[in-house]
Structure 1
Amino acid sequence: MMQPGAGLLVSIILPALLGCVLSEMPSLPEKAEIIHSVAHHFHLNSVFPLEIQGEGIDYGQSVVKIRRYLSGSRIFTFSYLYPDTMVRLGVLNVMLSTEKSEESLRQVNFSVPLSNTVWLAFMDSDSSVEELFINIAVPFDCEFLVAQEEDGCIIITEVYHINAALPLQTCRIGNWSSHIGMSWSSMTFYQRRRSLQNTVFRAGVLQGPATSVFKGADGKIMKIGSYIGHIWNILQGIMNFSTSYYTAADSAFGVEMVNGRWNGLLGMIDRKEIDVISTDILMDRKRLGIVNFMNPLFEVRTYMFIRSPKKSDMDWENFLKPFSTGLWMAILGVILVLSVFYFIGIKVCRKYNEESEGIWTFRLYDSVFYIYYSFCQQAQSDPVVYSTSCRVLSVTTYLTAVVLLVGYSGFLISYLTFRTTELPFTSFGHFLQAGTHRLGVLSNSTHYVHFKESTNPNMQQLFLRYIFPNKADHPKSFLEGLQRVCSKERYSFMAPVFIANGFLKELPCDLVAIPEAYIPATATLAIEKRSPFQGLFSHNIQKMRRAGILQKLRKDFLFSKLINVENAKSPADIDEIEPILAILLLGIALSCIVLLFEIAASRASSYTNSVAKK
């Protein structure tokens, strides 16, 4: 933590010190100028001079004069403000004297949220800032300034407490002189308060794909890792704090119970048992009543997962679907016509070409097979053709066949590889219409609350028919819920996509996400309500985002788990080519049968010939 005077650069202070000629407390017009400079610096257009009881008539007259001086500087002054108005407007609260203000400050500390306003107190040079605030706790996120004469000029010092165990923190951020005016430190609010001086935070954690928990030999949590753990460890180094880790007895994030209390980690933070939740927790409107969420860390969708449907029996039509029926008929007709023309060409070639004597045995079905081989892009040695017309016909056949074969092969492979799974339903509405599956959610989770409080008719019906009746039987963890999808018939479970992908290797079955049955959400860290450290945490998380640290951590720990499972592609397997294998086996069997007939016929012919010779 910076010591007094450390926050102001020498190049800023030195000119102001040279111009300091004050020998006593500033006059009311000079105080008005200081007030105006402070209001301008913090972009405030409203000033509330506090009337402190016990200061006497002179103090009250000073307040009136200050209002008169500020009236011409486009700054509004108020004689009374309700606390909520003060918070909404962003007011500069001014105390023109602190001789009898300790009791008033103590009252203000409890009645007005200091963290939402700026405070300025003028002190005599012989007064001690530490003594004034010895019994007054100034929140860490409160901008409380003290103006005090020192060495002939007015020094502006900000004061605050980190926690009750540490002394008052002071930081010199500006000075004012009648000749030069106001000079301010170039350091920002969170640069001046970047260190928490080893303050201990009690953090609640849960094991999960985005948060790894490491325990010691005694079973106590020593540290956390993975995506959230690395973010938290970096924040510890930047902000100079330490952590004591705790976990919920019921291993749940928490929901509001019937009696109005919360369980899980949220219940712990509501009961002041922990200060922060340093694991990925989903942002929810209901939860905002007891915690404040830090800057969003990543977006996640919670999908409905079911067991991947069993593949249907082999579909013979898959191998005919690349071409239409008309095209298949045209191809068959072309093969027959080309076979006839090729056969005629061979015959004509034999009649008018003496070199073609050896092709007399070429028959019509030989021509059919020849053209069929050509369409399959197979080379052939017979017949030997010397006719240019037959060669032209062969080249034309091959060129036509290669185009058809490439088109058929490409379409068939893409059809078998990038196939779509036939799902029993595709959305929450279809789920209700089908009525074939049960639905489970994580016990004591925000998903349960989402279904319960949703205004969507389908979500309401799902809660009343499937979720609420089985409230006591919902899984205690995401892994348990996904395992139920595999072990129970027609069971579905709501789980964030990156969590489901993290557990895929531990499951005995394949899962599929219903593409239109999901709940969008944002995951982040949470801190107790009205915590003075929320702004510092959010400021540093935003710095990590601008520096690319969050993106690097997401790439290292989450990108492999954020696969779009509903569009996941799987390669063609042996089940998809069962018809081809069946045709192959049928062909082998048929050839064996024909071979047996040929052997029998050959033996019968040989026997007949031998008998005839006798």
Structure 2
Amino acid sequence: MELRYAVGTMTVVMRSLACITIDIATRYQTHYVYLLHPSYDPGDVLNTYKYFLNEINAKIYMKTLIKSMEDMARIPHTPFQHLHVIYTSDIDTHGLLMKISTSSKLSNRRWLVFLDSETTVKDFFADIHLPMDCEFLVAQRCLDEDVEFSITGVYHVHPTGALQMYALGNWSSGRGLTWIDIPMHHRRRDLQGIILKGAFIPDAPYVISRNISGRKPYDLSGFSLVFWNLLQELANFTLEYHIPEDNSYGSDEGNVSWSGILGMVIKKEVDVGINVFQLASHRMTAVGFLPPIFNSKVYVYIRQTDPTKKSLIRMLSPFSTGLWGAILVTISLLLLTQRAIFNIGVHFELQEETDCQLLDAWLYILGIFCQQGHRTIRLSWSSRLVYLTAYFIALVLLVTYSATFISSLAVSRQDLPFSTFEDILKDGTLKVGVRGKSSHEDYFKKSSNPILKSVYEKMIKPNTETQPKSFEEGLQRVCKESKVGFVVAQATFRGLMQNVPCTIVEVPKAYYTTTVSFIINGESPYKRLFAGLIQDMRRSGILRRIDTNFWTPKLEETLLEPPKGVTFETVMAYFVLLASGILICILILVVEMGCRKR
């Protein structure tokens, strides 16, 4: 038997309503279906809801529950996982919906309401605010023979704005549900020129402000502005900029209080944060994050050591100490072997005793390893074989030494006193700096790693009051002061390296990996829209293009460039050594001439 149920002044077929509910729930892969009824419901209406419950469970496997509209607080708030169905559109239902809309209970939920044919959608929702982050579907009877019900999506861009409507699909008993498959953030991407507030602090390379007048900054640029300008163009909105009083990113001040940009977003003084923020567990519980923009390693950066100070050491660095010792032993063995063969030859009159003195033999062997020749003398074949062996060994050593030595001149390698956070702690002479009230400071402060915790307590915390106010200032301190390191993301350093007056290098293993994005109030109705647009930018390659165009080339990219020439400063010590040798020779010559005159 076909049951009928009055929805307002309209009578509809109960089985059709059940089928519409089933089709929409299946379309969204819904976990739960909540059949909502007004609190005044009499028993016969409740029995009708039970009929729908049995009708749905008989066709698909999903959990269905009957709830009063006044019990919305007891329904789990799982974003867009449930379908909330309202089968009435009378005055009492309208009043309860209006009451629910004044709270946040509509947000991040999916709704389906059956509206009677005598009431227009605009009239029914005239005083009900439907936020952008709720998906509200209206099913209404049609007079068209081919279409029995039309499905319409409704929402408000702003509480004071006009109701926005768009067609989602149609339903008929013969063809079932036909749907317009367009993502939600595409249907709702036009914010109609509304003004959103954004908090920022000037901090290159992400936000660069060339003109700040009071609290009205103008002429902003930088990495973050590339994204926000694009989002403003895509979603048709305008940003109004504000600066926090403490000019900081913000940190947890205790007592559930936050400072800086974070505090302004959490307190809803602004809608979004313009600067990029590091994702951290203690932040994600307080503020909303948009999808990740990029990943980066956060290093400790220090000033590069002067390459000229270790030029002489570099002469010996191609070979290890053990290999140098083996070379000296080899030279000694060759000299002893040559002298033994020479003496045996003299004893058996194979060569004259005056042919090769001990001092000459020593100079000959040493000269061979320095790639020097010597005059031809009459030697036995056994002595010549010793020299031939020395030439072969010297040639192999020369090729090996030259390759390593030339590469050390062409490729700059740092001989750092430490390479990890543990080494920095053991050394104890480096002053580690971080940007004040930043994610980097919070990372060390809240870390469960005992080594990182010790770095904060011993090297960061004592200098909290004098920490730099920007990343650029911190890198400049590394150049101006001795024994200073600064913690900064590799991406940030790439954006600032051209503004740093000295050469700065990273401590190779003193780093941690982080992910950065933009922050938005967790209850903002525009969070889902911005998240969807950023995901579209990622899929279409826009994020990669922005990253490629904005940052300086990475190391693997610079390796493809033509090699740089060796500078005079790099080899200056060798010229000094050459000049010293010449001067010593002249001095010895003068002494010899003086002695001969006497």
TM over 0.5: yes
Partner of 2:298: helix, strand, or coil?
strand
> Which residue of 1 is the match for residue 199 of structure 2?
204
> Which residue of 1 is the match for residue 134 of structure 2?
142
User: Which amino acid in 2 is paired with 1:138?
Assistant: L
Partner of 1:328: helix, strand, or coil?
helix
Greater C-alpha radius of gyration: 1
CA contact (8 A) 2:149 2:170 kept: yes
1:83 Cα deviation from its structure 2 partner: 3.6
Say if 2:535 is the partner of 1:539: no
- 1:407-445 Cα shifts (integer Å, max 9, x gaps): 12223344565644241x444444444443444332222
The 3 A distance-change label for structure 1 pair 126 and 29 is same
From 574, 583, 586, the counterpart of 1:592? 586
Partner of 2:546: helix, strand, or coil?
helix
> Which residue of 1 is the match for residue 465 of structure 2?
472
Say if 2:143 is the partner of 1:151: yes
Partner of 2:85: helix, strand, or coil?
strand
User: Which amino acid in 1 is paired with 2:581?
Assistant: G
User: Which amino acid in 1 is paired with 2:12?
Assistant: P
CA contact (8 A) 1:279 1:525 kept: yes
Q: Which moved more, 1:489-498 or 1:119-128?
A: 489-498
Partner of 2:276: helix, strand, or coil?
strand
Q: What is the rounded CA distance, in whole Å, between the counterparts of 2:182 and 2:425 in structure 1?
A: 59
The 3 A distance-change label for structure 1 pair 361 and 388 is closer
Q: What is the rounded CA distance, in whole Å, between the counterparts of 1:112 and 1:61 in structure 2?
A: 30
Normalising by the residue count of structure 1, what TM-score does the alignment of the two structures yield? 0.79
CA contact (8 A) 1:293 1:527 kept: yes
Say if 2:406 is the partner of 1:410: no
From 417, 423, 436, the counterpart of 2:429? 436
1:3-402 to structure 2, matched below 5 A, reads 25-53=11-39, 59-73=45-59, 74-80=61-67, 83=73, 85-88=75-78, 90-100=81-91, 101-110=93-102, 113-152=105-144, 153-215=148-210, 220-222=216-218, 224-308=220-304, 311=309, 314-315=312-313, 318=317, 321=320, 323-334=323-334, 375-377=369-371, 398-402=391-395
Q: What is the rounded CA distance, in whole Å, between the counterparts of 1:557 and 1:216 in structure 2?
A: 22
User: Which amino acid in 2 is paired with 1:88?
Assistant: T
CA contact (8 A) 1:362 1:383 kept: no
Q: What is the rounded CA distance, in whole Å, between the counterparts of 1:213 and 1:601 in structure 2?
A: 74
- 1:377-412 Cα shifts (integer Å, max 9, x gaps): 4578x6599999999998776554322211122233
Identical pairs, percent: 29
- 1:289-318 Cα shifts (integer Å, max 9, x gaps): 432111111122333334456756954854
Q: What is the rounded CA distance, in whole Å, between the counterparts of 1:561 and 1:130 in structure 2?
A: 55
User: Which amino acid in 2 is paired with 1:305?
Assistant: Y
Q: What is the rounded CA distance, in whole Å, between the counterparts of 1:465 and 1:393 in structure 2?
A: 62
1:536 Cα deviation from its structure 2 partner: 1.9
Q: Which moved more, 1:251-260 or 1:217-226?
A: 217-226
Q: What is the rounded CA distance, in whole Å, between the counterparts of 2:66 and 2:569 in structure 1?
A: 84
Partner of 1:146: helix, strand, or coil?
strand
Partner of 1:88: helix, strand, or coil?
coil
CA contact (8 A) 2:277 2:439 kept: no
CA contact (8 A) 1:204 1:277 kept: yes
- 1:318-375 Cα shifts (integer Å, max 9, x gaps): 4764733122321354367669989999xx9x999xxxxxxx9998867766666554
- 1:227-275 Cα shifts (integer Å, max 9, x gaps): 3322222222222222222222332111122454322111221232221
Q: What is the rounded CA distance, in whole Å, between the counterparts of 1:571 and 1:462 in structure 2?
A: 39
The 3 A distance-change label for structure 1 pair 226 and 307 is same
Normalising by the residue count of structure 2, what TM-score does the alignment of the two structures yield? 0.81
Partner of 1:233: helix, strand, or coil?
helix
CA contact (8 A) 1:70 1:76 kept: no
Q: Which moved more, 1:307-316 or 1:491-500?
A: 307-316
The 3 A distance-change label for structure 1 pair 260 and 472 is farther
1:533 Cα deviation from its structure 2 partner: 1.8
1:475 Cα deviation from its structure 2 partner: 2.3
The 3 A distance-change label for structure 1 pair 590 and 366 is same
The 3 A distance-change label for structure 1 pair 521 and 58 is same
> Which residue of 2 is the match for residue 499 of structure 1?
492
The 3 A distance-change label for structure 1 pair 342 and 218 is farther
Q: What is the rounded CA distance, in whole Å, between the counterparts of 1:333 and 1:386 in structure 2?
A: 19
Instruction: State how many pairs are aligned.
Output: 567
1:155 Cα deviation from its structure 2 partner: 0.5
1:140 Cα deviation from its structure 2 partner: 0.8
1:552-591 to structure 2, matched below 5 A, reads 552-560=545-553, 580-581=574-575, 583-591=577-585
Q: Point out where structure 2 has 5 or more consecutive residues left out of the alignment.
A: 1-9
The 3 A distance-change label for structure 1 pair 584 and 342 is farther
User: Which amino acid in 2 is paired with 1:518?
Assistant: Y
- 1:51-102 Cα shifts (integer Å, max 9, x gaps): 1245766644432332333232234331236645442393222221212221
User: Which amino acid in 2 is paired with 1:195?
Assistant: D
- 1:484-527 Cα shifts (integer Å, max 9, x gaps): 34444544432223334544454455544333433432111111
The 3 A distance-change label for structure 1 pair 274 and 321 is same
Q: What is the rounded CA distance, in whole Å, between the counterparts of 2:217 and 2:201 in structure 1?
A: 10
- 1:522-555 Cα shifts (integer Å, max 9, x gaps): 1111111222222222222122222222122222
CA contact (8 A) 2:319 2:401 kept: no
CA contact (8 A) 1:385 1:391 kept: no
The 3 A distance-change label for structure 1 pair 363 and 139 is same
1:103 Cα deviation from its structure 2 partner: 0.5
User: Which amino acid in 1 is paired with 2:14?
Assistant: L
CA contact (8 A) 1:206 1:279 kept: yes
1:136 Cα deviation from its structure 2 partner: 0.9
Say if 2:541 is the partner of 1:551: no
Aligned Cα RMSD in Å?
4.1
CA contact (8 A) 1:335 1:372 kept: no
> Which residue of 1 is the match for residue 4 of structure 2?
none
User: Which amino acid in 1 is paired with 2:77?
Assistant: V
Partner of 2:48: helix, strand, or coil?
helix
CA contact (8 A) 2:133 2:525 kept: yes
Partner of 1:116: helix, strand, or coil?
coil
CA contact (8 A) 2:278 2:515 kept: yes
